[in-house]
Chains A and B, each alone.
Chain A
Amino acid sequence: MVHRTCPSIRQPFVNKNLSIAGMFLFLGLLTLWVPLPAAARSPQDRFIRVEASSFAYEPGVITVQKGARVTLELHSRDVVHGLFIDGYGLETRAAPGESNRLTFIADRSGIFWIRCSVTCGALHPFMLGKLKVIEPGFALRPLALTVVLASAVLLLPLSTLAQQHKSIKRDK
């Protein structure tokens, strides 16, 4: 293994870039989680039939407007399954041939995992779905995140290169 030595440009850039990295990390989190303005129109009530079978929900991704009154009707096709919504802390369960409803106001925007809460088989811990509670402009979040991350991974190396360049010139 060859040990390339260039001690003058080893460490300093790491510390100097930390503040820039921190700023971008903050911006990145902001694009994902900052609350957006409420919709001008009041959202419509939603009724969604959810079919559970080993080891998935159908539909796997449920999208509703923030503020909507949502009713999920859980049906099971095989064994007893549960439906727990992260963030909302709500749960219901259903045995084959029966159904149960879960009604709530989707007052927290974001993307929440839906998990099976009843041991249903080998892959039970990985029986997952998603609840997307969206606001106007929600679809822009992935785009904004991409822009922030792309800026970060472009500007940070630029900063590194500039600092390494200065460091080399200073050594000369």
Chain B
Amino acid sequence: MHIELTALPGVKAVLRNRWWQFVLTLTTLAVFILAIVSGSVGTPVGSRNFAIVFVWILWWALLILLAVPFLGRAWCSICPIPAPGEWAQRGAILKPPVSNRARPLRRWAARWRNIWLQNAMFLLVALFSIVILTQPAVTSLVLLALLLLAIGVSLVYERRTFCRYLCPVGGFIGLYAQLSPLELRVKDTSICATHAEKLCYTGSAQGYGCPWMVFPAALKVNTNCGLCMECLRTCSLDNIAVNIRPIGDDLQRIGIGRMDEAYKAFIMLGSALVYVFVLLGPWGWLKRLAYSVGTLPWLGYALGFLLVLLVALPGLFALAVWLGNHLAKARGSLRRSFVTYAYSLIPLSLSAWIAFTLAFVFANLSYVWGVISDPLGVGWNLLGTADWGWQPYLTSLTPYLVSLVLMIGLVWSANHVAYLARQQLSPARALRQALPVIGYCLVYTLTLMGVLIL
């Protein structure tokens, strides 16, 4: 069942209007710049610094608990990181293009038109994340580096190449956007097939050609749709719709999938697992190890981190898939089965990230009041809230929410494994194929529960 939001009175006009998006982007950009400044010149105490509190507590909570599960890539449409580069590339901030002849820019190399580099960028940030998310100066440096990289890439390469192929955040948002109940799709692909101009891709006086380099008629899943609404503005045939749909709809349209996206699922699954152990476990030595960047013990941690994410979890999963194939006497390559079934881990890994976030965000949310009044940590009290002390919120409720979220992720993933197996096999064989993979999901969930709530 799909509900076309753009068919509702007023919604389409609002979505076509550039102002709301511009104002929101400008707001996030202002906050982003304040975070860079605060991180570099403000107090080094993380819980009193705007950069740490706004980026790693408030923004992260909004992203993982609300934006990603319910709105897909909506964050990307107001993200401050690519905005200055995009404005520079277009030579305009708000106005649509006067002509379709934009300055010719390079296309991203064909061999890198995937998310392997995004995976690498995420791993790079993740390896240092214990330092990044606790030291304001390092957070500031990372944000500035991302901003400069996005500007540089936008000046050399076409459209939103940075967002599509490099952004460490964009990779996992795209993966989880497949679960979102919000989608942008073409109403009737046959109309697009006979439309010679393809304004949604080339652009018009009404708007820019798809910044994400996607031809909307070919859009089957949410992964690469940035919900920027440019195609809604440019389509002269009123053939673009924004829909509410059943959650997880894309998972049933993936087909055989891609190895880079499959590995993204393992990277997200593994990083959630490691962070739960390191940050939320009671083991002080593990926290100190992850924090001691540059030392020999930290190299051991980094190696262990990469081994868990890139070898152990995918390796055990491959074993489970192989066992399933063997039990079900299924034909076809292990590689293909591995990639196909890896997509069923997306709900499980999102639930792990939500559980991780729930476990620390509410306990630390009250730091927001202090930094709003004193964003640089220099003794201001702009709103009179600078002296509000630490106050954990909802911590009595958190274990229940964490349990519920982890169980929903497990059940969802297990159900999808069975669905995928049944696509190819008879019921009895499908069950044999699915069981080892379901067992893998169960062990993962119980491991997380063991640290978080048991």
Contacts and interface: CB of A to CB of B under 8 A. Distances in A.
Interface of A: 1-4, 6, 9-11, 13-14, 17, 21, 24-25, 28-29, 32-33, 53-58, 60-61, 84, 86-87, 110-111, 113, 115, 117, 119, 122-130, 141-142, 145-146, 149-150, 152-154, 156-158, 160-162, 164-165
A141 B446 CA distance: 12
A14 B246 CA distance: 9
B392 A129 contact: no
A58 B282 CA distance: 9
Given A153-B414, A154-B438, 11 more contacts: A24-B411, A86-B395, A87-B395, A110-B399, A113-B363, A123-B130, A123-B291, A125-B47, A129-B282, A153-B442, A157-B418
A150 B410 CA distance: 10
B246 A11 contact: yes
B410 A153 contact: yes
A7 to B, nearest CB: 9
16 contacts: A2-B256, A3-B220, A3-B255, A9-B419, A25-B404, A32-B453, A55-B284, A119-B47, A119-B48, A125-B46, A141-B454, A152-B407, A152-B414, A156-B411, A160-B415, A161-B427
B418 A122 contact: no
Given A123-B287, A165-B427, A157 B414 contact: yes
B411 A25 contact: yes
A4 B423 contact: yes
Given A17-B415, A164-B419, A142 B454 contact: yes
Contacts of B453: 32, 111
Given A25-B408, A123-B134, A162 B256 contact: no
B53 to A, nearest CB: 10
B399 A111 contact: yes
Interface string B389-417: 01010011011100110011011001101
B215 interface: no
Select the residue from A9, A21, A25, A153 with max chain B CB neighbours within 10 A: A153
Interface residues of B, number: 67
A57 B282 contact: yes
B45 interface: yes
B46 A122 contact: yes
A117 B363 CA distance: 10
Contacts of B75: none
A153 B45 contact: no
B134 A117 contact: no
B450 to A, nearest CB: 8
Contacts of A53: 284
B431 interface: yes
B220 A1 contact: yes
B282 A61 contact: yes
B422 interface: yes
Contact of B363 (A25, A86, A145, A162): A86
A160 B404 contact: no
Given A54-B284, A115-B363, A124 B47 contact: yes
Contacts of A145: 446, 449, 454
Nearest to A111: B453
A128 B46 CA distance: 17
A131 to B, nearest CB: 11
B400 A29 contact: yes
A2 B255 contact: yes
A6 B48 contact: no
A64 to B, nearest CB: 16
Contacts of A14: 246, 248, 415
A149 B439 CA distance: 10
Contacts of A117: 390
Contacts of B284: 53-58, 60, 127
Contact of B404 (A29, A61, A146): A29
Select the residue from A142, A157, A162 with max chain B CB neighbours within 10 A: A157
Nearest to B413: A153
A3 B255 CA distance: 5
